[in-house]
Amino acid sequence: MPPEPPASLTERQQARRRRILHTTAQLASRGGFDAVQMREVAESSQVALGTLYRYFPSKVHLLVATMQDQLSQMHTTLKKKPPTSNSPGARVSEALMRAFRALQREPHLADAMVRALTFADRSVSPEVDQVSRQTTALILDAMNEPHPTPAQLSAVRVIEHTWHSALITWLSGRASIAQVKIDIETVCKLIDLTTPTPPAQ
């Protein structure tokens, strides 16, 4: 049975869903992917196990939704204190590195969420799409470009792929934070390369 879409939930159900996601993040922060057990999530969230499965049919659904929620919180923080670099590409790089450092502070949680994304099959597509849309929104806000061109949107997709790949390589110990920063800064230059040049006066 497909999960309940968040938009269709009542205020009380929304609060219950937020409680479940908060509990999941706490459990994952302490012990990673394996620490998130559906029964424990239900008990700690004070919801029936059947209710939990109605919201999230599997642990993978649950952790991918948790990543979307974490990105949403990061996006809210970035809106309150937007990046200040001069070029759109540098602002995107600054925003993504701030989000990366937030994940760096909770490595077990980051690992659990990224593993869930990696394991996700077609049944989790709506949740994975939400993660992608949230990442896109974060990047577009940092660009401060209300009407991105097709070329810019293509650059955003490449940046998303690089950011996700950088997360995986960092979590597996194959890349340092310094290397991640260089890779993110490099790929974000695509934003400036695809930004139309204003016509000469």
For 31-41, the pLDDT digits (tens) are: 999 999 999 99
What angle (nearest 5°) sits at the alpha carbon of residue 38, between those of residues 33 and 39?
130
Read off the tokens for 105.
């502070």
Q: CA-to-CA distance for 58 and 75, rounded, in angstroms?
A: 26
Quick one: pLDDT at residue 20? 97
Quick one: pLDDT at residue 4? 54
Q: CA-to-CA distance for 52 and 4, rounded, in angstroms?
A: 10
Which pTM was predicted? 0.88
Quick one: pLDDT at residue 196? 78
Render pLDDT for 172-186 as a digit per residue (tens, 0 to 9). 999 999 999 999 999
Render pLDDT for 69-113 as a digit per residue (tens, 0 to 9). 999 999 999 999 999 999 999 999 999 999 999 999 999 999 999
Q: Indicate if the pLDDT at residue 16 is higher than 60.
A: yes
Find the mean pLDDT for residues 142-158: 92
Quick one: pLDDT at residue 133? 93
Average confidence score pLDDT of the chain: 91
Quick one: pLDDT at residue 2? 52
Q: CA-to-CA distance for 157 and 61, rounded, in angstroms?
A: 23
Q: Indicate if the pLDDT at residue 6 is higher than 90.
A: no
Find the mean pLDDT for residues 128-141: 94
Quick one: pLDDT at residue 26? 97
Among candidate residues 8, 122, 5, the one with its CA nearest the CA of residue 68: 5
Find the mean pLDDT for residues 49-62: 95
Quick one: pLDDT at residue 35? 95
Find the mean pLDDT for residues 162-167: 94
First to last CA, the chain: 60
